[in-house]
């Protein structure tokens, strides 16, 4: 099967959170609705502000001369668009507290789940502009990429 551009779409992610809980990728649309109902919405991210990266943190040398990656570092950054006092209160209650974070694009059905994330929030207020809350999450010494995040498509059936 050849490559196409049909899956290349601009994604506008909703940012949601919940207390850490057991996770498995929802298999059906009903499972997804139940899963989504366990989250509380933080807001939408500013277009182009989400950055998620995974890199090798440490490698060890093997007897055959090759190098084996043994540590993964993951970083998530984004900017929430906020405008109400209640929005700031909501992020303050979860700052520094382990939370499951879900980025969800209703347009494309793309979901990215970050388990046990500890978010750090900043504030950015500029007169005449939309108020913003930049956030960062970093995790080090992970054994696999899936310990940092799981990508999945919203089931439609």
Domain membership of residue 42 (yes or no) is: yes
CB 114 within 8 A of CB 75: no
Structural domain containing residue 71: 8-153
pLDDT by residue (tens digit) across 81-116? 876 788 888 899 999 999 999 999 988 899 999 999
Domain membership of residue 133 (yes or no) is: yes
Other CB atoms within 10 Å distance of the CB of residue 2: 3
Domain membership of residue 35 (yes or no) is: yes
CB 102 within 8 A of CB 137: no
CATH of the domain at 102: 2.30.110
Domain membership of residue 77 (yes or no) is: yes
Domain membership of residue 88 (yes or no) is: yes
Total structural domains within the chain: 1
Domain membership of residue 2 (yes or no) is: no
67-81/13-18 β-pairing: unpaired
pLDDT by residue (tens digit) across 6-33? 655 556 789 999 999 999 999 999 999 9
């Amino acid at each position: 099967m050849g490559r196409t551009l049909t899956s290349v779409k601009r994604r506008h992610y909703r940012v949601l959170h919940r207390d850490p809980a057991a996770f498995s990728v929802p298999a059906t649309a009903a499972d997804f609705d139940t899963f989504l109902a366990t989250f509380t919405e933080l807001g939408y991210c500013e277009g182009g502000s989400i950055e998620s990266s995974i890199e090798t943190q440490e490698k060890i040398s093997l007897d055959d001369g090759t190098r084996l990656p043994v540590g993964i570092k993951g970083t998530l950054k984004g900017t929430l668009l906020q405008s109400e006092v209640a929005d700031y209160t909501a992020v303050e209650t979860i700052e520094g507290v382990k939370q499951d974070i879900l980025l969800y694009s209703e347009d494309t059905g793309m979901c990215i789940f970050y388990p046990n994330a500890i978010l750090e929030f900043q504030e950015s207020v500029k007169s005449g502009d939309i108020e913003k809350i930049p956030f960062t999450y970093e995790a080090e010494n992970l054994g696999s990429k899936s310990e940092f995040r799981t990508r999945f498509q919203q089931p439609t059936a």
